[in-house]
Amino acid sequence: MRMPRGLLKPGSSAPVQTLDPLIGPPVAVLGPDPARLVHLQFRRFAGCPVCHLHLRSVVRRYEEIAAAGVREVVVFHSPPEELRPHLDGLPFPVVADPDKLLYTAFGVESTPRALLAPRAWGPMVRAVLVGTWGLLRGREKPPVLRPRGGRFGLPADFLIGSDGRIVAAKYGEHVDDQWSVDQLLALAAAASHTPAPAPATPAG
């Protein structure tokens, strides 16, 4: 795993070649299918209300995302034992990264502004209300009181091409600052219409 020099940008090489989810086989970042993209989401801790509210929107449109040639992979900075109870209903691979090795490799940070930014307050209130209703109905599991990695993590999104290069990247500025499904699909469509670079012509 390579460490980045600053934030990753379109054209940067992804610092990993495979991802190891809790359930299922490893996910190859490099692949033979030029039309395939990997959407790598960095979320926060298991049971994070804002994270799970966002993931519901992804689950609702999962077939549409898959039809666009995008494979979802989601990373949490929680250990497996804390993350497993929250996997029900998630149709995509989920990676546990309690030591934040992937977060470091991709330049994903933690900061108090994740929760203190005024733009995050409305989504947090809504997510807590929805999560509380889910708990009361037995459809949600509560997070642990002291999640490993803390509560100040920022989200991030990366769209990675089959050649292992970053197609698009977003580093969130607060807890609810990530790509919507519509934005993801637009980026995937743009990537599919971007011509591949021509092979280098041998000198002479």
Report all structural domains of the chain as residue ranges with CATH numbers, in order of start: 18-192 (3.40.30.10)
Q: Copy the structure tokens of residue 109.
A: 């940070």
Strand 37-42, strand 156-160: pairing:
antiparallel
Please spell the DSSP secondary structure of 166-194, one letter per residue.
EEEEEE-SSTT-S--HHHHHHHHHHHHTS
**pLDDT > 70: percent of the chain:** 74
Q: Which helix (H) or strand (E) holds 49?
A: helix 49-60
Instruction: Quote the pTM value.
Output: 0.81
Which residues, other chains included, contact 27 with Cβ-Cβ below 8 Å and sequence gap of 6+? 18, 19, 20, 21, 38, 71, 73, 93
**55 has a pLDDT exceeding 70:** yes
Give the angle 154-155-160 at the CA atoms, nearest 5°: 140
Whole-angstrom Cα distance, residue 201 to residue 10? 24
Q: What is the DSSP code (8-state) at residue 38?
A: E
**199 has a pLDDT exceeding 50:** no
**102 has a pLDDT exceeding 70:** yes
Asked if 43 contacts 51 with a C-beta cutoff of 8 angstroms, the reply is: yes
**145 has a pLDDT exceeding 80:** no
